[in-house]
Amino acid sequence: MNNDNLTFTETRLSDKAEPMLAGEFAPTWESLQKYEVPDWFRDAKFGIWAHWGPQCEPERGDWYARGMYEEGHWQYKSHLENYGHPSKLGFKDIINEWKAEEWDPEKLVAFYAKAGAKYFFALANHHDNFDLWDSTYQPWNSVNLGPKKNLIDGWAKAARHNNLRFGVSVHAAHAWTWYETAQGADKDGPMEGVPYDGRLTKEDGKGTWWEGYDPQDLYAQKHPVSTGKGLDWNWTAQGTSQPDAAYVEKLYNRTIDLINKYHPDAVYFDDTVLPLYPISDIGLKITAHYYNASESWHGGKNEAVVMGKVLSTPQKKAILWDVERGASDKLEPIAWQTCTCIGSWHYDRGIYDRKQYKGAATVIHMLTDVVSKNGNLLLSVPLRAGGMPDELEMKIVEEIGAWMNQNGEAIYGTRPWKIYGEGPVSEESNPVNEQGFNEGKSKPFTQADVRFTTKGKTLYAIVMAKPEGAIKIKSLGDKSNLFDGKITEVVVLGSDEGVKWSVSDEALTIEALNNVPNAIAVVLKVETE
């Protein structure tokens, strides 16, 4: 596939406002396939994400700015109870309520670094179309409104001060159709037929707190509602409303503005392939600009990472494949990433009340499995409206940090072995469904499940449960067609206990351990010659 196959050629726009930097990379798939994933990303393995914006203000979960306009939806009911009817108080007004009064980026990023994160991501905007920096092209931003703080600037400084690579996530491409529920009205009840606020204009703001601002810069709803079935993440389904040229150009300019101002090490696009792909080439232009800019920042070396979803094999050579809430079920030849969250993407107080977060063991097992398959894990820790995690989340992050402090050498800077692992879970088929969403569908891990990583001549065998009795690793037996070296030493990371081990034709056997240093997963460091 190349950018000559675009179906909406009107979006081949001028880049006069934010020129696309020329250089080694051109905005074509053929040119972008010269890209190589930088070593910093391949070595880092583990990142933490602040998926935090004005939709966290109600603390009622992800996609609030859409769900609050869906009559009967639980978020709509919560909005009625806590704020009033969306014809009178819409999402623009939620932004005004959001103050981020507890936000302390230095304290929080330092906490994440101590827990083992090697890169940090901040939400730059979401489908709600609100920019979280001093956006030149989007008046609805966190400097002008809501917190009146430059969140991206604060996050970037904190990440770099704590020696973490810094990434931004961009989700705003879909606001055009995602916000279409704001054009609706109740179909029943006392407010039947009263329009929600999704079609308000600047002229309607006289005498309001938002006077002088145009709600259409936020909602982007001066267009007919799509007639297709649900949201089309690919933009190509029959009946999907197509964004106009002004919307597309504004999205391009906003994203280039973000990149040029903050020089991120990575940009995550919450899109099928790239923003507005395949109806526009702006995603290809943004990527080429970013790669060329990175070379200019780093003395001719491209240190940038661009992440997209649902990629073809050739596209995985041009940008990094991201899998949402899931993982590949095989060892991938090219570096990739899974992104997941310990709760809802935007903070949901109900998950806290019900104590439904992913625990540290779940996260560590996912990280280990992903790293063994040549991937990285980006973990979202939801922040409350004020800008800090709750105490349950803090405890989970601390427990992750305790395991990483003990066993991180089996994760950081490693590369895959010949196979990613052995055991019952590896024998299952659990393919990725479109953009991901296959996590939690496998059997629970047992001590028979082992994941492998390597570093030079050292092989790490990670036992995915607290071992009871002897540990047997079949892939390291003398007659294995996989292992052709000689084992010289086996130690357990985090333990001073001498390990009794032997190798037979069938397996490497480690006798029962007297002391298990961590019940989540035990790492065997296997030295070879």
- Please provide the DSSP assignment of 81-113 as one string: HHT--TTTS-HHHHHHH---TT--HHHHHHHHH
Helix (H, G, I), strand (E, B) or coil at 453: strand
Q: Is the pLDDT of residue 250 over 80?
A: yes
> How far does Cα 274 stand from its chain's mean position?
14
Average pLDDT of the residues in 338-353: 97
Which DSSP symbol is given to 251?
H
How do residues 163-197 score in pLDDT, each as one tens digit? 999 999 999 999 999 999 999 999 999 999 999 99
Give the count of beta carbons closer than 10 Å to the beta carbon of residue 474.
Answer: 16
CA gap 72, 186 in Å, rounded: 9
How do residues 357-377 score in pLDDT, each as one tens digit? 999 999 999 999 999 999 999
User: Which of 151, 159, 108 is CA-nearest to residue 130?
Assistant: 151
Q: Is the pLDDT of residue 11 over 80?
A: no
Average pLDDT of the residues in 505-511: 96
* Helices and strands (H and E) in the chain: how many: 15, 16
Beta partners for 528? 487
* pLDDT at res. 473: 97
Helix (H, G, I), strand (E, B) or coil at 165: strand
Average pLDDT of the residues in 112-140: 98
Helix (H, G, I), strand (E, B) or coil at 67: helix
How do residues 419-448 score in pLDDT, each as one tens digit? 999 999 998 877 777 666 677 778 899 999
Residue in the structure block whose two tokens are 């035990």:
522
CA dihedral 87, 88, 92, 93 (to 10 degrees): -150
Residue in the structure block whose two tokens are 């909005």:
79
User: Which of 353, 299, 315, 352 is CA-nearest to residue 35?
Assistant: 315
What percent of the chain has pLDDT above 90? 91
* Residue pair 254/220 in contact by the 8 Å Cβ criterion: no
* Residue pair 422/475 in contact by the 8 Å Cβ criterion: yes
CA angle, 81 as apex, 76 and 86 as ends, to 5°? 50
Residue 165 CA neighbour count, 13 Å, CB half:
20
DSSP codes of every residue in 455-513: ETTEEEEEESS---S-EEEGGGSTT-SS--S-EEEEEETT--PPPPEEE-SS-EEEPPP
Q: CA torsion sign, 62 to 355 to 82 to 191?
A: positive
Q: Supply the mean pLDDT for the chain.
A: 95
Q: Is the pLDDT of residue 83 over 80?
A: yes
Q: Is the pLDDT of residue 511 over 80?
A: yes
- Cβ neighbourhood burial of 452 (10 Å; 0-12, 13-18, 19+): buried
* pLDDT at res. 44: 98
Residue type, 291: Y
Give the count of beta carbons closer than 10 Å to the beta carbon of residue 224.
Answer: 9
* Residue pair 272/310 in contact by the 8 Å Cβ criterion: yes
Q: CA torsion sign, 419 to 425 to 427 to 432?
A: negative
Average pLDDT of the residues in 220-229: 94
* pLDDT at res. 476: 96
Q: Which long-range contacts (CB under 8 A, 24 or more apart) does 273-277 make?
A: 273/308, 273/309, 273/310, 273/311, 273/315, 274/306, 274/308, 274/319, 275/170, 275/173, 275/251, 276/11, 276/173, 276/235, 276/243, 276/248, 276/251, 277/235
Which residues, at least 6 apart from 419, have a Cβ–Cβ distance to it below 8 Å?
331, 452, 475, 482
Beta partners for 268? 169, 307
Q: Is the pLDDT of residue 6 over 60?
A: no
* Residue pair 168/258 in contact by the 8 Å Cβ criterion: yes
* pLDDT at res. 437: 63
Q: Is the pLDDT of residue 497 over 70?
A: yes
Average pLDDT of the residues in 109-134: 98
How do residues 287-345 score in pLDDT, each as one tens digit? 999 999 999 999 999 999 999 999 999 999 999 999 999 899 899 999 999 999 999 99
Q: Is the pLDDT of residue 482 over 60?
A: yes
* Residue pair 359/463 in contact by the 8 Å Cβ criterion: no
